[in-house]
Amino acid sequence: MVDLLNKPVQANPFSRPEPDPFFLVIFGASGDLTRRKLIPAVYNLYRQGLLPADFFVIAFARRDNSDENFRHQMFRSIQQFTPAASDGRKSWDQFARHLIYHQANFDDPDGFEALREKIHYLAGQNTTTENCLFYLATQPRYFSVIVQSLADADLSRPAQPGDCWRRLVVEKPFGSDLQSSLELTRQIQEVFSEKQIFRIDHYLGKESVQNLLVFRFANSIFEPLWNKNYIDHVQISVTESIGVENRGAFYEQAGAFRDILQNHIMHLLSLIAMEPPVRLDADAIRDEKVKILRALRPIAPGCVGDEVVRAQYSAGTSGDQLVPGYLEEPGVAADSVTETFFALKAFIDNWRWAGVPFYIRSGKRMPVRITEIGIHFRPVPNVLFNIGKTAPMLPNMLTIRIQPNEGISLQFQAKTPGYEMSIQPLKMDFGYSDSLENAPPDAYQRLLLDALLGDSTLFARSDEVEAAWSFVDPIIAGCSDIALQELPQYSAGTWGPKLADELIIADNRIWTLTRRTKFR
Ligand code: BG6
């Protein structure tokens, strides 16, 4: 008999090796992303013992600053944004020695020459290699010039092949449409090969997003049902309670389509709809994701008026606070027609999904922050229980909560205890925080570690980005001449315009969100 209890514990095949010694050069180091996300992420990796002894973070920015002052500013940000990490001053002081400030303009050859010398000097002092992860955390308009400056300073490739590695992380948005994204890829690929490029989308670093693959392909009970024969429709909602905050100027150029649909939602959609990959490597997974994006039925510009709802928030309440409308936000034009909300119905024209609608919506200043995927199964036939006084019964629904309260919930029918045959919907609910001990790492921690290890599975490949733009471009084009008076408004703190409800009600369906009432 096999003694299951005494089976030797196998090493976890998925545990991560330690990255090689490295230099992380962050361009745009005086910006929000660096202090809110990047430095806290590197610091947490350091505290968790996941970084090698030899590493430096070089903060590259245009403003005058000193190492000391930059370290102090970053400590204040850690206290503000990740208070849990700011407990040990000693650990911070040790970490801070790895932080170096480098002031230069993005097109200044001397500044890049000085960067190269600094890296060479520090590597020599520490007898380590000159592995470099360059992180573009600036506004997108600086991406090309920085890449060119890296090339001119001979920083994009090792002096001798095999000496060390050089990689480039590019923040979203990657281009502002298909054309500009192709052009950006062309410019970057003149300097870096595709294998060196890591297009980051922090949604892919979220634990609950990575779990989509495991949930679908490490269980045998869901996959046979995962198709048009059993699934009636799918809903993807990405709602936020915040407005545009202090990013009005950026948001004016982006809008909800570029900010959320082209990237975060396209990743969720492709992971939920893709075929099983042949292997678990970066390219095999991305091959399947891109097939889904290419199978999306285009929404022609002329049909956008009928098939896509867009809207903008007006003044209202968020929690118990009165909040301004989008047009009153700093950096926003008084006559702006930028959408802060959209809802649409998409179709994936392949064998698995033919005819299954994917209802997608996203908005800022909605009542709560929720990202959720709802898989709505077909109703049972109108016989036995789904007839007479127990009808209509709610069909089964599987909800995948991406955030917050990450988890999975299955709605099913059960008999109400008693002498009558009456039926009620119940939920089996799994919450990460209830069931799993370890708090998931922050998305940026995971993605930075992957980039340091050269694993690009959770980064977007150029063809994925382009396929996503090919779907989104005609939608944006179709909206371009809608005047402000035609753009519906919704009060801050509400679920968007009535038109969004009508879009789904027209198909005899309603938007659903499964909020957990009880969680830790
Ligand atoms: C960013 C968008 O990519 O994602 C923001 O630019 C948005 O507008 C944010 O608020 C949402 O991220 P999260 O992780 O809070 O869902």
Whole-number pLDDT of residue 483 = 62
Element (H, E) at 55: strand 55-61
Cβ 208 vs Cβ 403: under 8 Å: yes
Residue owning the nearest CA to atom 5 of ligand 1: 259
Whole-number pLDDT of residue 485 = 62
Helix, strand, or coil here: 123?
helix
Which among 240, 262, 370, 406 is the best mutation to test ligand 1's pocket, defined by most ligand atoms within 8 Å of the CB? Answer: 240
Do the domains 22-171 and 204-505 sit in the same CATH topology, yes or no?
A: no
Q: Where does the pLDDT of residue 515 fall: very low under 50, low under 70, confident under 90, or very high at 90 and above?
A: low
CA distance 466 to 469: 5
Ligand 1 centre and the CA of 368: distance in Å? 14
pLDDT at 87 over 80: no
Nearest to 264 by CA among 349, 368, 342: 342
CATH superfamily of 22-171: NAD(P)-binding Rossmann-like Domain (3.40.50.720)
- Nearby residues of 183 by Cβ (< 8 Å), 6 or more positions away: 175
Counting from 1 in the atom list of ligand 1, the atom nearest the Cα of 238 is 16
Query: Which residue type is seen at 502?
Result: E
Counting from 1 in the atom list of ligand 1, the atom nearest the Cα of 172 is 3
Q: What percent of the chain has pLDDT over 90?
A: 80
CA distance 98 to 394: 57
pLDDT in tens, 294-319: 999 999 888 888 899 999 999 999 98
The single residue listed with the structure tokens 């514990």 is 9
Query: Taking residues 273-300, what's their average pLDDT?
Result: 96
Counting from 1 in the atom list of ligand 1, the atom nearest the Cα of 264 is 3
CATH superfamily of 204-505: Dihydrodipicolinate Reductase; domain 2 (3.30.360.10)
- Nearby residues of 355 by Cβ (< 8 Å), 6 or more positions away: 228, 347
Query: Taking residues 425-434, what's their average pLDDT?
Result: 89
Q: Where does the pLDDT of residue 9 fall: very low under 50, low under 70, confident under 90, or very high at 90 and above?
A: very low
240 in contact with ligand 1, CB cutoff 6 A: yes
- Nearby residues of 133 by Cβ (< 8 Å), 6 or more positions away: 22, 23, 24, 25, 167, 168, 169, 451, 452
pLDDT in tens, 171-222: 999 999 999 999 999 999 999 999 999 999 999 999 999 999 999 999 999 9
Query: Taking residues 57-82, what's their average pLDDT?
Result: 93
CA distance 397 to 130: 52
Domain assignments of the chain as residue spans, ordered by start: 22-171, 204-505
Whole-number pLDDT of residue 302 = 84
Residue owning the nearest CA to atom 6 of ligand 1: 259
Say what angle helices 207-217 and 266-273 make with each other, to 10 degrees.
Answer: 20
pLDDT at 350 over 60: yes
Cβ 460 vs Cβ 174: under 8 Å: yes
CA distance 192 to 286: 20
Which among 202, 208, 266, 318 is the best mutation to test ligand 1's pocket, defined by most ligand atoms within 8 Å of the CB? Answer: 202
